[in-house]
Structure 1
């Protein structure tokens, strides 16, 4: 499976639209958002995905009721766990409150956001993915990640 991973979109609507178009063009099987959508009007755009999507709330997602309604219950409280293609997936906006050392045991794929720093790190049989910030407000780069669950490999992609 190819999974598109997004975090920290922070209502940057033009870039969200570009990311949706890019991920649809790549024919990803699913999209995961690691939080900080901010407003429901941004999440409304996610109906344009050609695949299922899910996500977790971030620390800037104050309007949870509106986000829940607009997302049709696709946004969950973190951490959220699921199985994709036989791989265990852990999704949180920020992993450090639960795992201060940054190590999340017993999962194959760990997805987080919050730091706005894009990274892919292999640790033994695990892959840790932070897609960076889709909004581009902090780093100046609008990034997402693409994950191949079969190969357990991910790459950071800049959305321009």
Structure 2
């Protein structure tokens, strides 16, 4: 199974349009969002892009938190505040925005998870810590670099594809 991993979308509608085009003909309908959605309407864009299941956390810039929770809940998606931990096909995953900069590494070093995902920095990061894959997909919005970055995780092979979109 492959999972789309994004973070720091920051209301960038152009990203969601390109993401929807990119997802066409790909078997990717599960996603992880590591925070900084910003506005709740971006949740609708995730659905329009073809996402059927989304696991997310709040970021430091997310506004209208109650409405974000409602949007997730309406779709039976799962949003948490600080840490969202769950299991998909036997793979234990934790998601944290990364505002507390050491927390993602602490989660990875705990050995409790197979994968730890974080965002916040807008910079891609991929590292094995023991048997745990620690990754940051970079910035989906592309505001700092002009390039939208995200990742696709194959949880059966524990392999990561890094994706770049020019917006």
TM-score (norm 2): 0.86
Aligned residues of 1:120 and 1:156 also touching (Cα < 8 A): no
Q: Secondary structure at the match of 1:18?
A: helix
Count of residue pairs brought into register by the alignment: 160
Q: Partners in 1 of 2:80 and 2:122 — Cα distance?
A: 20
- Higher relative strand content: 2
The unaligned stretches of length 5 or more in structure 2 are: none
Does residue 89 of structure 2 align to residue 89 of structure 1?
no
Runs of 4+, deviation exceeding 4 Å: 99-103
The unaligned stretches of length 5 or more in structure 1 are: none
| 1:37-80 deviations in Å (ceiling 9; x for gaps) | 10112222122224311211111002101111222263221201
Alignment partner, residue 8 of structure 1: 8
Aligned residues of 1:90 and 1:107 also touching (Cα < 8 A): yes
- Indicate the larger mover: 39-48 or 66-75: 66-75
Alignment partner, residue 98 of structure 1: 103
Alignment partner, residue 75 of structure 1: 79
- Across the aligned residues of Structure 1 and Structure 2, the Cα RMSD in angstroms comes to 2.0
Q: What is the CA distance between 1:107 and its match in structure 2?
A: 0.9
TM-score (norm 1): 0.89
When residues 118 and 61 of structure 1 are mapped into structure 2, their CA distance, relative to the original with a 3 A threshold, is same
Q: Partners in 2 of 1:100 and 1:152 — Cα distance?
A: 18
Q: Secondary structure at the match of 1:67?
A: helix
Aligned residues of 1:119 and 1:156 also touching (Cα < 8 A): no
Alignment partner, residue 113 of structure 2: 107
1:112-127 equivalences in 2 (<5 Å): 112-127=118-133
Corresponding residue to 1:131 among 131, 134, 137: 137
